[in-house]
Amino acid sequence: MIYKSFKVFIIFIAMTVFLCQFNYAEAIPDVAAKSYIVIDADSGRIISSRNANEKLPIASTTKIMTTILSIENADNLTQKIEVPAFSTGIEGSSIYLKPRQMVSITDLLYGTMLRSGNDAAETLAAFTGRNSQEGFVSMMNDKAVEIGAYNTCFANACGLHDDNHYSTAYDLALISKYAMRNETFKEIVSTVKYKAESLNTILYNKNKVVLEYEYGSGVKIGYTKAAGRCLVASAEKEGIEIIVVVLNDNDWFNDSYKLFDWAFENYKNYSIVEKNQYVGTASDGKPVFISDSFTYLLTEDEKNKVRFELNITTPHIVNNKNNTIYGTYNIFLKNELIHTGSLMGN
């Protein structure tokens, strides 16, 4: 009987949290990419994709992983490090570093992401990998597995073509979602122009998303003959951040803009439950509350397809804040589990 009263109350929440009215989702725009994906950067929800798990060369979008690893493993980003000879004179994009030149880690990070400098990326890799390029590549692959990018294999830090260097649109979206949670990374990739003091130059961002698209916030372009034009892009509007990945796409920027426009037009963030929201009374007579807030990206049509399932138990665990756990709740969109949380006492 208690279970039913909880269920009715939770379903009532589901029926009342959705107050705004929007149009039903419009058709997904056609894009030229061989593979693409569109995700919500907060929840990771995939809202559109094609061939998103196909393993493909990814060119300099590789540098997203190089940069976030370098940031996470640096004790002092202002530190100047020596450029090793083997990191200079590399084919492809360059910031024209010279052997034994002293450059700050920060300037190398900007040189890697804004100008796609292969020499900057390899210098960061050498430093972070303790002068072992193979060691850094191993770190990249370990981090990919940690993030959940299981169909990714890195062979170098800069993205030059190698048959054993590949990823997928889905994996790149996961890696970018992870990287964009780092404030230093996010600041770098959103920068239009940067003055690199240790290089005595100004670096301009090659990623036109941050220049042309009104809500653009990052991330990285890439190109080789084998990979074609590759783009990982992000945009943020009204509290929603969308990540788009297009691989082997001759109309890479325009396609990303179309996908952003479609996503922002048709999806909104809805508050499903709020932290400390009262949901009823347990069998011991104590009030029970939702443990955490949860919002999710939904279309107008999907709002009424959210449902709840509860697992009410007798109080059994007390955490370090002296909160009693009364069970768990699951939130589903149709038949897909989108969130699990706890029911807490006080």
Active site residues: 60, 63, 116
Total residues belonging to the chain: 346
In whole angstroms, give the CA distance from residue 299 to residue 290.
24
Residue pair 121/158 in contact by the 8 Å Cβ criterion = yes
Instruction: Return the closest-CA partner of residue 63 out of 197, 257, 219.
Output: 219
Strands (E), the chain: 35-40, 46-50, 80-82, 102-104, 193-196, 201-204, 216-224, 228-237, 240-247, 268-273, 278-281, 287-290, 294-298, 306-318, 324-333, 336-344
- Please name which of 9, 19, 47, 8 lies closest in space to residue 303, comparing C-alpha atoms: 19
The secondary structure of residue 12, as a DSSP letter, is H
DSSP 19-49: ----PPPPPPPP---SEEEEEETTT--EEEE
**What is the C-alpha R_g of the chain?**
23
Give backbone dihedrals phi and psi of 81, rounded to 5 degrees, phi first: -125, 160
Instruction: Report the SS3 class of residue 117.
Output: coil
DSSP 198: G
Strand ranges across the sheet with 278-281:
278-281, 287-290, 336-344, 324-333, 306-318
